[in-house]
Amino acid sequence: MLFTSITFAIFLLIVFLLYWFVFNKSLKVQNILLLLSSYVFYGWWDWRFLFLLLFITVSNYLVGLGIQNKEDKKSKKLIFLTGLVINIGTLVIFKYFNFFLDGFVNLVSITGYKINPLSLNIILPLGISFYVFLSLSYIIDVYQERLSAEKNILDVLLALSFFPIILAGPIHRPIGLLPQIQKRRVFDYNQATDGLKQILWGVFMKIVIADSCALNVNTIFTNYLTQNGSTLFLGTFLFTIQIYADFAGYSNIAIGVGKLLGFNIMQNFNYPYFSKDIKEFWKRWNISLTTWLRDYIFLPIAYSLTRRLKAGKYVFIKTDILIYTISILVTWILSGLWHGANYTFLIS
């Protein structure tokens, strides 16, 4: 169910009316409605993948409780590592199995040996990268005691599968979403109006700007060998507009839908093309992803290396530069893989 489809507009209208005008007196019933709506929204594409979503979310709920209920550090760590294996293993199987297998076959072929590759016809579930990252942030925050494991399973399931953010973000972490789920929400006309405006702006960005640019970009780069330099430059320029309007448009719709339902979802794009430098650009572009990678990949690696590398230099490289280089390299590799199972994402 696409955000820009008539089906979603009807779906959202039904949810909105039931949410505010039928079940508005009970927070629990409102949350149940949102959870069921999230499953309808996700299962609309392929209902079979609802079982995968349930498996991931229920597993992380149990892992969170297991971490918090254990007293000794070894048991906590074992349960936490089990949660990591479940999340990362599921993501690898569904998104990267054939990519890594093909890479292994190509690597072996360099030595002269030939392997008949076993390629599985695995369908990539929509939004799997997003809800796996949500789930990872939940158990990591519980393990590091930044968040208490929630005993109410409905609240956790909703935080890990909330329909405005499950397919394309923003990656609004459970640590920020759970308090909103558990707090009674009152209809605010100004917030709802603001949300509707943001939805319309997001739809405009996606349909009018991004899709219009895409038509010209596809035409130019499909026949790039016959195009002159100025046409290729125009195609590149239009592509930068297309990719921003596409991503930011979907994020604006998600944020707007959240406001309609009384939730504040984090901003994901902050006019990145008006940045003064590349550092500021990455602070403004896909904010939820870049901050997630910073907090759960870059900083933990940097802190871990800082504790272990005590010498001033290693192979004539200053330790602080080496730590930064390793941390940022691993972060960028994982960021590239997150965007897609292809060498082009790794290189870029």
- Residue 10 contacts residue 20 (beta carbons within 8 Å): no
Q: Where are the alpha helices (DSSP H) in the chain?
A: 6-21, 27-43, 50-69, 73-91, 97-109, 128-143, 153-159, 174-182, 189-203, 211-222, 229-260, 278-284, 287-293, 299-308, 319-339, 343-347
User: Left (φ > 0), alpha (ψ -120 to 50) or beta: where does 286 sit?
Assistant: left
- Bridge partners of 314, per DSSP, are 317
Residues identified as active-site? 339
Who's near 201: CB < 8 A, 6+ residues apart?
252, 256
With b for 16 or more beta-carbon neighbours within 10 A and e for fewer, the 240-277 pattern comes to ebbebbbbbbbbbbbbbbbbbbbbebbebbeebeeeee
Report residue 4 as tokens. 């820009």
